[in-house]
Amino acid sequence: MKIIIVGNGFDLNLGLKTSYKDFIESDYFIYLTQHDNSLATYLMGKTNLNNWVDIEKEITNYSRQVKDEVLNVKKDFTALKKALTSYLKEIQDKEINQESKAFEMIKNEIETSDMIYNFNYTNSVFRVAKILGLDYDLERKHSYVHGSIDNSNIILGVEDKARIPSNYIFLKKAYNINFGKTDIGKSLNKENDLVLFGHSLGITDSSYFKSYIHSLARKHSNTELKFYYYGDLGYDEMMQAIDVYSGNYLTEFKNNNKFIPIDSSEISSSCSIYNFV
C-alpha cells in the first residue's frame, strides 16, 4: 500500500500564497486587528512567524498571557478561523505552477497511490489531478486531516500536550467536532510506502508521525519513503525531526528503509504539456 501525505509546502510549491506570512499581510487579517481582535493583534506582533507550526505555538503562548474573558477569547479565535477560511478560498483558485515538483509528484504518484492524506485546507490536490485528467478516483482515496475550506470545517489549534489553561480547551484541535474523522493513525501504524510532500513533521503534528518513524527505525522493512524537502534548511529540519522521532536512531532509520530524499526547490525535470484549467 502506498500513502501520499501533503502539507502546506505542497501548496507553496505550486505557487499558492498560503503561508502564515501571506495571511497576516492580507486584508482579512488586518481587518481583525482593526476591530480589536486580541488574538490577531498578538500574532501581528510576532514578526518571526513564517509557517503554520509557528502560529500553533504562538496560540499556546497567547493562551498563557491573555487576560480577557473566556467568551471573548473564543469569539476572537472563531473570527480568526473565519478570516483564514475566507482568505484561502480566494487563494486556492489562483494559477498553479505546472512545472513545480509538487505538480510532478502528483503526476507520477497519484495513480499508484492507495490513500492521500491532506493536511491542507485547500482543494489543490483535486485541481492538479483534474488538470492531469487523474481525478476520476480521487474522492474515494482522499482525506482531509484537518478539514477543508470548501466544507467550512477547518481544524486550527494546538495539540493535546500543549500547556494551555483548561478553560481554553476550545483552542485544542481535538476539541473541534470534526477532529478524528480520518484514519491516518491506523494507516501509519502499518509498513506502508510513503510519499511525503511539504509537511514539516513538526512537533504540533507529532501524534501522527512519532510512533510510525520510531517503528521504522527499529526493524528492517525496506519500506520506500520519498520525503520531499525544500532546500538545505528544509533538509536539516527534516533530518532533525526524523532523528527525534526515531529516538536518535537516524542511521537505523535510513538503513532499514529505502529512504529517498527529494529537493522540491529544484525545477521539475519535465515541463508540463497540460493546459491550465
- Residue 133 maps to a domain: yes
- Residue 223 maps to a domain: yes
CB within 8 Å of 232: residues ≥ 6 apart: none
Together in a domain, 29 and 112: no
Q: At what angle do helices 101-109 and 124-132 cross, to 10 degrees?
A: 70
pLDDT at 275: 33
Together in a domain, 132 and 31: no
Q: To which H or E segment does residue 142 belong?
A: strand 142-144
Check residue 205 and report its DSSP letter. Answer: G
pLDDT at 273: 35
Q: Among 210, 203, 208, which Cα is nearest to 158's?
A: 203
- Residue 238 maps to a domain: yes
Together in a domain, 47 and 120: no
Positions of the chain with pLDDT lower than 70, given as ranges: 53, 203-206, 268-277
Q: Read off the pLDDT of residues 17-67 as tens digits, 9 standing for 90 and up.
A: 999 889 999 999 999 999 999 999 999 888 777 777 678 889 999 999 998
Together in a domain, 232 and 186: yes
- Residue 216 maps to a domain: yes
Q: Work out how many domains the chain is built from and give that number.
A: 2
CA distance 34 to 70: 21
Long-range CB contact pairs, 213-219, < 8 A, 24+ = 213/242, 213/245, 213/246, 213/253, 214/245, 214/246, 214/247, 215/189, 216/191, 216/246, 216/253, 216/256, 216/257, 217/246, 217/247, 217/249, 217/250, 217/252, 217/253, 217/256, 218/249, 218/252, 218/256, 219/256
- Residue 156 maps to a domain: no
- Residue 168 maps to a domain: no
Place of cell 498578538: 42
**244 grid coordinates:** 527525534
* β-strand pairing of 142-144 with 115-118: parallel
Q: Which amino acid is at 15?
A: G
- Residue 57 maps to a domain: yes
pLDDT at 78: 96
Identify the domain boundary among 52, 68, 91: 91
- Residue 135 maps to a domain: yes
pLDDT at 269: 59
Q: Read off the pLDDT of residues 141-158 as tens digits, 9 standing for 90 and up.
A: 999 999 999 988 899 999
Residue 2 CB burial class (10 angstroms; 0-12, 13-18, ≥19): middle
CATH number of the domain within which 188 lies: 3.40.50
Residue pair 147/175 in contact by the 8 Å Cβ criterion: no
Check residue 191 and report its DSSP letter. Answer: -
Q: Write down the pTM of the prediction.
A: 0.90
**252 grid coordinates:** 537505523
pLDDT at 274: 34
Residues of the domain holding 42: 20-91
Together in a domain, 29 and 51: yes
Q: Among 118, 80, 90, 81, which Cα is nearest to 18's?
A: 90
Where residue 180 falls (left for φ over 0; alpha for ψ -120 to 50; beta otherwise) is left
Together in a domain, 113 and 250: yes
Residue pair 97/69 in contact by the 8 Å Cβ criterion: no
β-pair partners for 224 = 258
pLDDT at 277: 29
Together in a domain, 115 and 233: yes
Together in a domain, 65 and 121: no
Together in a domain, 225 and 247: yes
Together in a domain, 7 and 37: no
